[in-house]
Chains A and B, each alone.
Chain A
Amino acid sequence: MFKSKELNRIFSVVLQYASLSAFGLFTMFPLLWALSFGLSSDGSYAYLFPDSFLPHVADEAGGYGIGATLVWFERVFVEIPFSVYFKNSVIITTLAVVGTVVISVLAAYPLSRMRFFGRNFIFVAIIATLMLPQETALVPNYITIVKLGNFADWLQLTLTGSDAATWKKLIGMNSYLGVVLPGVAGAFGIFLMKQAFEAVPQDLIDAARVDGATEMQILWRVMLPVTTPSIAALAIFTLVNQWNEYIWSSIVMRAKDMQPLAVGVFNDLTGPLSGSQNTLMAAIVLTVIPVLIFFAFTQRYFISGMDGAVK
């Protein structure tokens, strides 16, 4: 009896680990493949399964053995202005994360906790934008950004009398804000934060109100701290999306020195005139690493924040 129970237990644990590992490998394999490709001395083994999952290095005799080389990673920094792209990506993503969180929180709080005329209509209208494919927004957003740039130009000319066209660089084409602005007021963020705020017990808000907090103080000192997990989730989603975003950035950022990693790496390292695929793979791995690091630091915020508040 004991034996079979023990065997059952071992069997079920093994099965659990095996399926989880298989699932992990399945989701990881593109990255593993890219990593192995990037660490190999050339592409000879890149398309041979399963050898492609381990990096291979050519030896002096002309054969191949398992090994790793960082030569392609060094090439990335030589062939393309990786650090410029990286800096642009960091700036754009930071602006996007901060902007999205601020706007989502400020929009979601009244939608979830205040009563005003047209509240439901506004919320439905925001959610309705989720139904449209993002591509439909490309043309209107493009025209808006171009006009915003022209407006900034005109404003500068009118207010300062200068025709240096420097203000345009803040908000028009080839500007960081131009990439970020259309995305910050996203329905997803507002929806996520609205749900999070609605889960906060009404008593907690009433208690703060009786304690003398204004609406902004309730939001800042009570609501935000207890919804940290949702804010962290929103920040991570936005970060990953913005870091990897390609189409809109490639439309707005024509100037090479303003392009983020996704655009720069694609433009420089793919296509008929590109260098080796190993460099591309190394660049892809370098592009993904910051996101992984950020996730490692923020995942601890994904724990529940409401313990002990009520009951």
Chain B
Amino acid sequence: MASVTLKNIKKNYTKDVCVIKGADLEIKDGEFVVFVGPSGCGKSTMMRMIAGLEEITSGELYIGDTLSNDIHASKRGIAMVFQSYALYPHMTVYDNMAFALKLAGTPKAEIDQRVKKAAEILQMTHLLERKPKALSGGQRQRVAIGRSIVRNPKVFLFDEPLSNLDASLRMNMRVELSKLHQELKTTMLYVTHDQVEAMTLADRIVVFNAGVIQQVGTPLEMYENPSNLFVAGFLGSPKMNIFEAQVVGVEQSAAVVRLPKGISVRAAVNASTAKVGDKVTLGIRPEHIQLCEENDPEGIPARVDLTEHLGDIVLAYVEIPGINEIICAKLPSNMTGLKYGDSVRIKFPEKHSMLFDAEGLAFKRVRS
């Protein structure tokens, strides 16, 4: 087991094409860290650099206490699980798992013992003699994970390992990966573009965008206190609702902003750096939007555009006259009566409203 430390890591493909623009990160021993971000944000490149499959243009990579920039992939003590599984098609499951150990010259008896143990952990002892083409997608992924377990690596790297599986299998494997981490207690790095995977698996999440680390933190911390608009928009499903707004009042523990059409909203943030008249962005998550009574003075009149009944919840897409954005509200499942065209009144609770400045950086939230 080992920690992983990145110090000002950069990656250029050519002089002008810079995909990682200086990343600093410390991953503790035994931690499960998820790299998440949209396609092309550099998260996979980052992982490939840690694996030793891409050269590091500049900066330092430490695995444990060893500077690993120029150490060959096989000597870094890492094991990697690929999105495509990358099983050797001409070898049986057993040989796939034993390949690395054979290359390292491990005695036969030990190979046998380690392969069988890994197969037991992943409950695939009965598959050992099969070739990859005789396996289902989920089984192949298990073999790929098994192949990395047998090597007793210091760090596991997972490059979008579940994206080729169907939804239900993906959920099962997610649970199994979590269990595996608890069992092995090895450092794990996991790349995904699926924020649900990130939220459920991670001890800490690292959000990437355009080659820059946007924020690092525990899943809940990131969800509750996103440091900027990108993180706020990326984590959470459905996405956070955001509105262009203007500051009209700054108080000690709240800011008052005005949306178009003169609607004012209070947000519990420390906006001491903002001035009246600044352009800001108001953000509120769908589950925090409330429906309120006709006579509630804070209620904003709106019209239902579409409802989606998901069984446990109802998603209502509503429109406030004069504001272009469609607002998504997550409502309890008993709100089945809503239908297209209904007039409702909605409320943005002060304590759940977030505010971002013109550069997209979040104002610190104030908790009462």
Contact = CB atoms under 8 A, between A and B. Distances in A.
Interface in A203-261: 203-204, 206-213, 217, 221-222, 225-226
A35 B151 CA distance: 61
Contacts of A207: 80, 82, 86-88, 147
B85 A212 contact: no
A306 interface: yes
B133 interface: yes
A305 interface: yes
A6 interface: no
A201 B87 CA distance: 10
A201 B131 CA distance: 18
A62 interface: no
A305 B103 contact: no
3 nearest A-B pairs in the assembled complex, by CB-CB distance: A308-B133, A308-B132, A212-B74
Interface in B47-76: 48, 51-53, 73-75
A226 B88 CA distance: 8
B169 interface: no
Contacts of A203: 82-86
A211 B90 contact: no
B71 to A, nearest CB: 12
B132 A309 contact: yes
A308 B131 contact: yes
A135 interface: no
Nearest to B105: A212
B162 interface: no
A211 B100 contact: yes
A307 B133 contact: yes
B290 interface: no
A210 B131 contact: no
B107 interface: no
A225 B53 contact: no
Nearest to B100: A211
Contacts of B48: 206
A308 B53 contact: no
- Interface range on chain A (Cβ under 8 Å from partner): 20 to 34
26 contacts: A201-B86, A203-B82, A203-B84, A207-B147, A210-B74, A211-B99, A211-B100, A211-B103, A211-B147, A212-B74, A212-B75, A212-B100, A212-B103, A213-B99, A221-B99, A222-B88, A226-B90, A306-B89, A307-B132, A308-B87, A308-B89, A308-B135, A309-B84, A309-B88, A310-B84, A311-B164
Nearest to A306: B89
- Interface range on chain B (Cβ under 8 Å from partner): 20 to 34
A209 B73 contact: yes
A310 B140 CA distance: 9
Contacts of A310: 82, 84-87
Contacts of B100: 210-212
A224 B119 CA distance: 27
Nearest to B84: A310
A186 B133 CA distance: 34
Interface in A289-311: 305-311
A309 B87 CA distance: 5
B211 to A, nearest CB: 21
Interface string B97-124: 0011001100000000000000000000
Interface string B119-141: 00000000000011111010010
B89 A305 contact: yes
B74 A209 contact: yes
B36 interface: no
B257 interface: no
Given A211-B74, A217-B103, A310-B86, A206 B164 contact: no
Task: Give the residue among B85, B90, B104, B164 with the most A Cβ atoms within 10 A.
Answer: B90
A209 B48 CA distance: 12
Given A306-B89, A308-B134, A201 B84 contact: yes
B79 A210 contact: yes
A220 B51 CA distance: 23
A309 B99 contact: no
B85 A311 contact: yes
Contact of A210 (B73, B83, B134, B164): B73
Contacts of B140: 308
Task: Give the residue among B80, B104, B134 with the most A Cβ atoms within 10 A.
Answer: B80
Contacts of B147: 207, 211
Task: Give the residue among A201, A204, A310 with the most B Cβ atoms within 10 A.
Answer: A310
Contacts of A225: 88-90
A43 B83 CA distance: 68
Given A212-B100, A308-B133, A308-B140, A206 B80 contact: yes
Contacts of B134: 308
Contacts of A209: 52-53, 73-74
A309 B90 CA distance: 8
